[in-house]
Structure 1
Amino acid sequence: MSQGFIDFWQTMYRNKKAFSGMIILAIFIFMAIFGPMMASLDMTVNFDGRYKSPSFAHWLGTDYGGRDTFLQLVYGSRDVLSIGLFAALFTLVLGFVIGAVSGFVGGKTDTVLMFITNLFLTVPSFPVLMIVAALVQIKNPVMFSFILAAWSWAPLARAIRSQLLSLKNREFIIACRIMGLKTPYILFREILPNLTPYLAINFIMAAQGAIVASVGLMMLGLAPYSPTNWGMMIQLAVQNTGGIFNPKGYIYLISPIMCLGLFQMACIFFSNGLEEALNPRLRS
């Protein structure tokens, strides 16, 4: 186990893009977990302290209500990253189960599951998410994450099915069938480990996509009100400060946009070297 961790670390370190992405992601995760524990956020309106410039007291200045911009980003990161984490997890489970069963079982099961998958692929996801978010009362991040995952699993399921079509005729799978092992055992104990690098990369990219979608829905006001969510910060910056035209509100507007862009870049860079780090054949 320790040697595997060392090999993973050395591979990621050699890939400078992947290493920088991993460091940035680690900073965001640390900020989301420990940031709210290290500093308290006061959301009380203080008009005397509005639009303050960056200083040691307020690293990114204050917003239109005199509240610390940096602390809002810190507190909002927990909400944003938790939605991305749960949505990516749900996407991975749905995509793997549906794609694996479709490719491994075949026949009418494959036909029905692929028909449903293609149906989800042909429907544009974000407009549907807007409608669902407007109709369904979203009460917590887990429910929000499941709604996001419900319209993002189809591409992964189709890709997993393609992988299964090539894996199910391998010698070790044929041997499992001859031994009479059940389908769930073969899928989760024999096939799943072979797909770990691919699933890990898709987990990162699914989290990235879910965060972008959640911020977009929050910015449009179609998700539960959370004033520190990055999407809501963008909406409030535009509506309450005229952030596009008011120079005093530029920092409050640009900060969540920069965080979102930096997180997306980190996900792309990290996934760039993840497959090499998890696949010994690529390392050699």
Structure 2
Amino acid sequence: MATTTPTALVTPRRGFRLVLRNRKAAAGLIILGVFALVAALGELIAPYDPDALSPALLEGPSGAHWLGTTNTGQDILSQLIAGTRGVLLVGLLAGAIATVLSIVVGVTAGFVGGAGDEALSLLANVFLVIPALPLIIIVASLLPSAGGTTVALVIGLTGWAWGSRILRAQTLSLRRRDFVQAARANGESLWRIVFFEILPNLTAIIASGFIGTVIFAVLSQITLAFIGVTSVSDWNWGTILFWAQSNQALAQGAWWWFVPAGLCIALLGTALTLVNFGIDEFVNPRLRTGGNRPVKGIRPRVGFTPVRRKETS
């Protein structure tokens, strides 16, 4: 007769180490770490003031200006470094707000059921039809000084509904599972069931929603800056592309003015996607390959809660 006995939960530290063993996640985290370091140091490593003018007009990469200059002699590398902080702050702030709201609304709706579920589902349905980008454009037109923080708040407050619907559906399934029923029978508190039984099994969905929101927020900020909707006095990668397009950098053959910003956007998106793939493979043993093979004798459920099967007569 086969019985199941739960093994120890994967601790956050051990889980982080296991994620790092995944090559995709490790590569993504390294790239994100480089961007975070550049954003943190900012002015300390920028060779020039990004707003400073110089007589070196529209010069290509050189020893004095590693990524060249603009048509007014501004150093493009300094602008790129100064814009990294704004891009990351907007993405992380929007992702954090949307993720917290989706967890609170989605998990609560799926776990409590009844009238509470219907009310929260109605609220999510209302926010599902609110378009974020047009709303940002309207807000920016009403607030000429609107910058990255405004963009992050609008995206975070309007971008949680889809994730909450997915979390609600998964929570409805998980609350009927044997391990949740066993926790209830043992007299576990509601909060412990949610935080130690439900949420660990939603890790992949939560991480995917967070990363998706971060990518959307970054691209939205860059797009709005590129078309001149938000303030172009605050440096970000979209602002660099705005001034390059306004001064016809492509027509003048000044590739160094817009290519580095485009590469940074692509690298950041790639890094976030790789981290998402790594987390997905970690929480789903069927996706594990190479160094992330499942531990022998352990059959994980969805998420971090494994069980060990023992054969007894």
After superposition, the Cα gap between the structure-2 partners of 1:97 and 1:18, relative to the gap in structure 1 and judged at 3 Å, is: same
Where in structure 2 are the equivalents of 1:127-206 lying within 5 Å? 127-136=134-143, 141-178=148-185, 183-206=190-213
CA distance in 1, matches of 2:120, 2:88: 31
Measured in 2, the distance between the counterparts of 1:156 and 1:175 equals 28
User: 2:299 corresponds to which residue?
Assistant: none
> Which of the pair is proportionally richer in strand?
2
- Aligned-partner SS, 1:48: coil
Match of 1:222 in 2: 229
Paired residues for 1:195-274 under 5 Å: 195-239=202-246, 241-248=247-254, 250-274=255-279
> For 1:60 and 1:26, how far apart are their aligned partners in 2?
22
Residue 106 (1) aligns with residue 113 (2): yes
CA displacement 1:184-205 (0-9 Å, x = unmatched): 4433343222222332232222
User: In the TM superposition, what is the alpha-carbon distance from 1:260 to its structure 2 partner?
Assistant: 1.1
Matched, 1:8 2:19: yes
Residue equivalent to 1:116:
123
Find the counterpart in structure 1 of residue 75 from structure 2. Answer: 68
The CA RMSD measured in Å over matched residues stands at 2.6
Give yes or no for contact 2:224–2:230 (8 Å, CA) kept in 1: yes
Distance apart, 1:217 and its partner CA? 1.8
Which position in structure 2 is the counterpart of 1:276? 281
Structure 2 counterparts to residues 21-40 of structure 1, below 5 A:
21-40=28-47
Are the structure 2 counterparts of residues 44 and 32 from structure 1 closer, same or farther at C-alpha, using a change threshold of 3 Å?
closer
Aligned match of 2:87: 80
Partners of 1:269 and 1:61 in 2: CA distance:
31
1:137 deviates by: 6.3
Distance 1:264 1:49, change over 3 A: same
| AA in 1 matched with 2:281 | E
User: Contact (CA 8 Å) 1:47, 1:64: kept in 2 or not?
Assistant: no
**Contact preservation (8 Å) 1:8, 1:278:** no
Letter matched to residue 247 of structure 1: G
The alpha-carbon deviation at position 41 of structure 1 amounts to 3.3
> CA–CA distance in 2 between the matches of 1:49 and 1:3?
52
- Out of 24-33 and 273-282, give the one that drifted further: 273-282
Change (3 A) 1:262 1:184: same
Look up the equivalent residue of 1:65 and give its one-letter code. T
In structure 2, list runs of 5 or more residues that go unmatched: 1-10, 295-313
Q: TM-score, normalised by structure 2?
A: 0.79
Partners of 1:257 and 1:263 in 2: CA distance: 10
After TM superposition, give the deviation of residue 272 of structure 1 in Å.
1.5
Aligned partner of residue 64 in structure 1, secondary structure: coil
The structure in which a higher percent of residues are helix is 1
Percent identity between the two aligned chains:
34
For the 8 Å contact 1:84–1:208, the answer to whether it is kept is yes
Listed as ranges, the gaps of 5+ residues in structure 1 are none
1:41 to 1:139, Cα distance in 2 relative to 1, 3 A: farther
CA drift of 1:20 comes to 3.3
Deviations 1:210-235 (A, max 9, x none): 11111112223333444421111111
